[in-house]
Chain A
Amino acid sequence: MSSLTSSLADAPVQDTTRVRTRSYSNRHWGNALFVLPFVCVYIALLVIPVADGFWMSLHDLDVLSGDSTWVGLQNFVRLWHDGIFRGAVWNTFVFVLMTTPAFVALGLALALALNRQDRTGTALRTIFFGSSVLSVTIVTLVWRLVFMTDIGLLANVMHFFGLSAINPLTSSALALPAIALVTVWWIIGLPMMLFLAALQQIPEEIYEAAAMDNASRWRTFWAITLPSIRRTVALVATIEVILQFQLFGQAQLMTNGGPNNASRPIVQFIYEAGFQQWALGYSAAAAQVLFGLMLIGVSIQMWLSRRHDAQ
């Protein structure tokens, strides 16, 4: 704020050309016009609904009859004591920890391997992107057929190797990892392409210099590639944490949260409370908790990447 007033105060004493030149690098209200359209949409369609949702979480609400009673923080207290919800929070964290590193590592590996402009590259990229095209209904249906007890693809492969087959979706220990696997299969395309787009930004000359030095593939990667795309690594990690925190369809359709609440994520809990049990206030409270957890997750990542930037 103070620099704005000072620049305004400075303005009259300087010739117009200089003021305009300076204003590009200095703070200027006009520059806010770039972000204004998005910010308007953002406030109207995200900030206001979020505030509305928070207000709902402090009420006991019935959508259909329109009844609403102020209950303060009671919904949050109830969540704290709800074993199913605590299980859902745990499952969600485990799921994020399983999938995010996989998306970053595999996405980057595929991008590095497929950053080539020949037909092979195009074909392979299309395959890895291809699964993203399917809707969650189809993805889960196909994988349920793959995992199907005794006669599914997995069971057949296991039998072929003389192993006893089990349907991972019916095991409390394996259900969540199986859902994680399916999720990685489904949407590896996004991180892969984000990394590809970033690799395009690294100038050829740097690699040429490295090739002259006979630097090994591994050294080139650590010394040149990774530092050049560190912003994208942070971006992908952040995006994946956010996306995977919101796990829903895969779990609902493949295991319905079971067995024994071993794979119910928070969003499924929110959906069930809101849409099946019609406990809107309770559902909104759970959504606020998820929002809070994700906010903490995003902040930590931003802080980490910023600290990394500063170094």
Chain B
Amino acid sequence: MSTQHIAGKRLGDRLILLAVIVLALIWVAPLIWVFGLSFKPNAELMRHTNVLFSPPFTLKNYTDILGNSSVFRWILNSAIVSLGQTFLTLVLCSLAGYGFARTEFPGKKVLYIAVLAGLAVPEQAVVIPLHHIFADLDLHNTYSALILPRLAAPFGVFLMTQYFKAVPKDIEEAALMDNTPRWKIFWRVVLPLSVPAQATLGIFTFLNAWNDYLWPLISASKPEMYTLTLGLATTQGNFAQSEGIGFLMAQAVFAGLPIFVIYLFFQKYIVSAVAGTTVR
């Protein structure tokens, strides 16, 4: 009975895995297409976009990107902006998430609801007022202007609060008995437990910062302050979507690689045994 059951479970596991692999193949097909098109000459792609595996192939799309003298400056800008935004978001949101999930102070509930209400604010509703504020402060075309606005997004606070709420209370209570200061408990006991949530938040903050377009577009008008996403877009000709498809795809691959690196760095902290063993 029991062995039969386990065998059935194994078969079930295999079937599920098979289904996921099939789905993954469908998922990855457009990605392979993007990659393949990036090695095709643009003139060829004006005629056909469904021939991937037949020559001619070319590296010109990539050399065109690297031939732009500003491209490394843009990468530097994007790195500063994205890493800065990621780091500051993790700091602000972990602190606030812990404060909301685990401590009590007057007015906490009201404040938390006010912060959650911010989730409902669409970017389009604040982008013009923000532009005015930064114009008044004369901050456009600076890294501060590129980094700051996204820090106000309550998504991270919401995520970290939900996560900290799920951490069992008794872990902290032992420390509380010893009269350890609150910030020490946060730093030594609770923060290490939140690594998977931090990693998830980190990946997506970085991703959104790296791919952000509308705000950098209206804030950074000097080419030396462009982010990579914005800068690459400016190199496209007026009809790039039909005349420069290969170039666009090469840009996508080129700009996507750093995000992959960050993803690979963070992802092992998401699915690891670290959290599972320490939490009851």
Whether B20 and A124, one on each chain, are in contact in the complex, defined by CB atoms closer than 8 angstroms, is: yes
From known contacts A130-B31, A131-B31, A142-B34, infer whether A27 and B199 are also in contact, taking CB-CB under 8 Å: no
Contact status B271-A148, CB under 8 Å = no
Q: How far is the CA of A262 from the CA of B154 in the complex (A)?
A: 32
| In the complex, chain A residues whose CB is within 8 Å of the CB of B249 | 138
In the bound complex, do residue B24 and residue A133 qualify as a contact, i.e. CB atoms below 8 Å apart? no
Tell whether A41 is near chain B: CB-to-CB under 8 Å.
yes
Q: Which of B150-171 contact A (CB under 8 A)?
A: 151-155, 157-159, 162-163, 165-167
Residue numbers in B under 8 Å from A63 (CB-CB): 128
Q: Judge if A128 is at the interface, Cβ distance under 8 Å.
A: yes
Beta-carbon contacts under 8 Å, A230-266 to B:
231-232, 234-235, 238-239, 242, 245-246, 248
**If the complex has contacts A193-B200, A242-B119, are A126 and B263 also in contact, measured as CB distance less than 8 A?**
yes
Q: Judge whether B203 and A135 touch: CB under 8 Å.
A: no
Q: Which residues of A contact B28 (CB under 8 A)?
A: 127, 130
Q: How far is the CA of A295 from the CA of B117 in the complex (A)?
A: 6
Among the 9-residue stretches B9-17, B55-63, B65-73, B74-82, the one with 4 or more Cβ atoms under 8 Å from chain A is B9-17
Question: Complex Cα distance A297/B119, Å?
Answer: 11
A280 at the interface (CB under 8 A from B): yes
A-B contact count (CB 8 A): 287
B99 with A30: CB separation less than 8 A = no
A26 contacts B by Cβ under 8 Å: yes
- Collect the chain B residues with CB atoms within 8 Å of residue A246's CB: 122-124
> Which residues of B77-132 have CB atoms within 8 Å of chain A's CB atoms?
91-93, 95-96, 98-100, 103-108, 111, 115-126, 128-130, 132
Contact B279 A194 (CB under 8 A): no
Given contacts A135-B211, A201-B279, contact A52 B129 (CB under 8 A): yes
Q: With an 8 A cutoff between CB atoms, is A46 at the interface?
A: yes
Complex contact A232–B162 (CB within 8 A): yes
Q: Are A41 and B105 in contact (CB under 8 A)?
A: no
How many residues of chain B have a CB within 8 Å of chain A? 105
Residues of chain A within 8 A (CB-CB) of B107 are 32
Do the beta carbons of B5 and A114 come within 8 Å of each other? Answer: no
B125 with A290: CB separation less than 8 A: yes
Per-residue interface assignment for chain A, residues 259 to 276, with 1 indicating a CB less than 8 Å from any chain B CB and 0 otherwise = 000000001001100100
B96 touches A35 (CB 8 A): yes
Quote the shortest CB–CB distance from A139 to chain B (angstroms): 8
B186 an interface residue at 8 Å Cβ cutoff?
A: yes
Question: In the complex, A194→B120 CA distance in Å?
Answer: 20
B200 touches A194 (CB 8 A): yes
A226 close to B (CB within 8 Å): no
Contacting pair B120 A197 (CB below 8 A): no
Contact A133 B256 (CB under 8 A): yes
- Determine chain B's interface SS by DSSP, over half rule: helix
Q: Tell me the count of chain A residues lying within 8 A, CB to CB, of chain B.
A: 107
Using A53-B129, A156-B50, A197-B196 as known contacts, say yes or no to A117 and B272 having CB atoms under 8 A apart: yes
B99 touches A44 (CB 8 A): no
Task: Tell whether, in the assembled complex, residue B122 and residue A290 are in contact, meaning their CB atoms are under 8 Å apart.
Answer: yes
Q: Which residues of A contact B130 (CB under 8 A)?
A: 45, 49
| CB-based contact B204/A190 at 8 Å | yes
Residues of A within 8 A of B20 (CB): 110, 113-114, 124
**Beta-carbon contact of B30 and A32 below 8 Å:** no
Distance in Å: Cβ of A118 to nearest Cβ of chain B: 10
Chain B residue nearest to A269 in the complex (CB) = B124
Are the C-beta atoms of A271 and B151 separated by less than 8 Å? Answer: no
Which B residues are in CB contact (< 8 Å) with A115?
A: 271
Determine if B176 is an interface residue (Cβ-Cβ < 8 Å): yes
B252 closest partner in A (C-beta): A138
Take A27-B106, A42-B152 as given contacts and tell me if A17 and B121 are in contact as well, using a CB distance cutoff of 8 Å: no
B128 x A27 contact (CB < 8 A): no
Considering only CB atoms, which chain A residue lies closest to B169 in the complex? A25
Least distance between B244 CB and chain A CB atoms (Å)? 11
Q: Which of A34, A48, A50 contacts B99 (CB 8 A)?
A: A34
Any chain A CB within 8 A of the CB of B222?
no
Selected from A31, A126, A287, the residue in CB contact (under 8 A) with B122 is A287
A102 at the interface (CB under 8 A from B): no
Q: Does B27 lie within 8 Å of A145, measured CB to CB? A: no
Show the binding face of A for B, using Cβ within 8 Å. Answer: 1, 4, 17, 20-21, 24-35, 37-39, 41-42, 44-50, 52-53, 56, 63, 110, 113-117, 120-122, 124-138, 141-143, 145-146, 148, 151-153, 156, 185, 190, 193-194, 196-198, 200-204, 214, 217, 231-232, 234-235, 238-239, 242, 245-246, 248, 267, 270-271, 274, 280, 283-284, 287-288, 290-291, 294-295, 297-298, 302
Could you show 12 A-B contacts with beta carbons less than 8 Å apart? A34-B100, A35-B100, A38-B115, A42-B115, A126-B264, A134-B256, A137-B233, A138-B249, A238-B158, A242-B119, A284-B125, A291-B125
Other 8 A-B pairs with CB < 8 A, given A124-B24, A200-B196 = A28-B105, A38-B92, A53-B128, A53-B129, A131-B31, A135-B213, A142-B33, A246-B124
